[in-house]
């Protein structure tokens, strides 16, 4: 048993898709979330900058004496994982391997699509993870850099015309490639689930990287006897690097619960 909190970070709001699942699977855990909202997006930045930001994010969370760290950002996991893993003596969870495995198992025709930020796609992390599971699978990757600003702006509903136009343009190549499984390789993208699903059609299975990883985190903490033993409801505290109000409004919408009074603004540099 271990009653210390779990730390989770992302560049912005995207990691909330992971928080929602973690709170569902691990209701007794205390969670500290960091969204680097002042510097989002990470996905269009250089490797050096992503590593620098990721190290600052991890150091901030480690300061709370957390028992485990969840990197709820595919971009950081694809580019900076090794730089983080070496520095900490705790369980560090990444968001690429679990969805890669889920997609590899689910695909019937062996044709898997991956969408993510420019940095994630450029890294080839998903291709490597999928091919390590089964080298005969075909992987088609497409960067969708405008999806993150759409989510940070709250333009995500199935009826949003701008979101639909952008999705149609990004995803046309994947439709032609006749994939049957699509990995949402950025934790922001499940917030555009309806738009992406309507664009790809109902025969394409969407795999959520945060949700798949949350299952793994829950199982791992249980198996390693690291769950909180207090027997009470867990708490969630949020830290952001830009305005509290902007984050709180969208977080309430995405989490379907009020976060007022639970969010604090901090500086990382
Ligand atoms: N949500 C993040 C990811 O999973 C990063 C998005 C961004 O900052 O570009 O990749």
Query: Whose CA is closest to 18, among 123, 95, 115?
Result: 95
- Mutate which of 143, 188, 240, 254 for ligand 1 pocket (most atoms within 8 A of beta carbon): 188
pLDDT at 1: 85
CA distances from 226 to 5, 25, 85, 220 (A): 11, 14, 19, 8
CB of 233 within 8 A of CB of 38?
no
Structure tokens at 54: 């990721």
Tracing tokens 């639970």 back to the chain, one arrives at: 262
Which mutation among 15, 42, 151 tests ligand 1's pocket best, with the greatest number of atoms within 8 A of CB? 42
Give the number of other CB atoms < 10 A from CB of residue 245: 11
Ligand 1 geometric centre to CA of 117 (Å): 6
Q: Is 25 left (phi over 0), alpha (psi -120 to 50) or beta?
A: alpha
What is the number of the ligand 1 atom nearest to the C-alpha of 186?
4
Half-sphere exposure (Cβ direction) of 76: Cα atoms closer than 13 Å: 32
Retrieve residue 16's tokens: 């909330």
Q: Among all residues, which ones are annotated catalytic?
A: 73, 186
| Side-by-side strand order, sheet with 205-208 | 138-143, 111-116, 181-184, 205-208
Distance between Cα 13 and ligand 1 center (Å): 9
Please give the pLDDT value at position 85: 87
- pLDDT of 229 reads 94
CA gap 143, 72 in Å, rounded:
18
Name the token pair of 95. Answer: 């968001």
Nearest to 22 by CA among 91, 75, 72: 72
Average pLDDT for consecutive 10-residue bins of the chain (269 residues)?
95 94 97 97 96 97 97 97 89 97 98 98 98 98 96 88 96 97 96 96 97 97 95 96 94 91 95
Choice from 16, 71, 73, 145 to test ligand 1 binding pocket (greatest atom count within 8 A of CB) = 73
- The residue nearest atom 2 of ligand 1, judged by CA position, is 73
How far is the centre of ligand 1, averaged over its atoms, from the C-alpha of 44 (Å)? 9
Whether 41 lines ligand 1, by a CB cut-off of 6 Å, is: yes
């Amino acid at each position: 048993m271990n009653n210390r909190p779990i730390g989770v970070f992302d560049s912005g709001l995207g990691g909330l898709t992971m928080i929602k699942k973690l709170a569902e699977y691990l209701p007794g855990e205390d969670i500290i979330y960091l969204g680097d909202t002042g510097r989002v997006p990470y996905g269009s930045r250089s490797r050096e900058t992503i590593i620098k930001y990721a190290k600052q994010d991890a150091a901030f969370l480690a300061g709370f004496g957390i028992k485990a760290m969840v990197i709820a950002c595919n971009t950081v996991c694809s580019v900076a994982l090794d730089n983080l893993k070496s520095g900490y003596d705790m369980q560090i969870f990444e968001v690429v391997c679990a969805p890669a495995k889920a997609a590899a198992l689910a695909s019937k025709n062996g044709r898997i699509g991956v969408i993510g930020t420019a940095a994630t796609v450029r890294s080839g992390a998903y291709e490597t993870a999928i091919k390590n599971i089964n080298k005969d699978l075909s992987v088609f990757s497409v960067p969708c850099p405008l999806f993150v600003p759409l989510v940070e702006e709250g333009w995500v509903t199935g009826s949003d015309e701008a979101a639909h136009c952008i999705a149609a343009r990004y995803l046309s190549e994947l439709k032609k490639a006749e994939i049957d499984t699509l990995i949402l390789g950025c934790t922001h993208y499940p917030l555009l689930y309806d738009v992406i699903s309507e664009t790809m059609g109902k025969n394409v299975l969407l795999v959520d990287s945060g949700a798949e990883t949350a299952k793994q985190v829950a199982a791992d903490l249980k198996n390693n006897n690291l769950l909180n033993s207090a027997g009470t409801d867990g708490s969630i505290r949020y830290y952001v690097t830009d305005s509290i109000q902007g984050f709180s409004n969208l977080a309430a919408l995405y989490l379907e619960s009020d976060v007022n009074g639970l969010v604090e603004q901090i500086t990382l540099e």
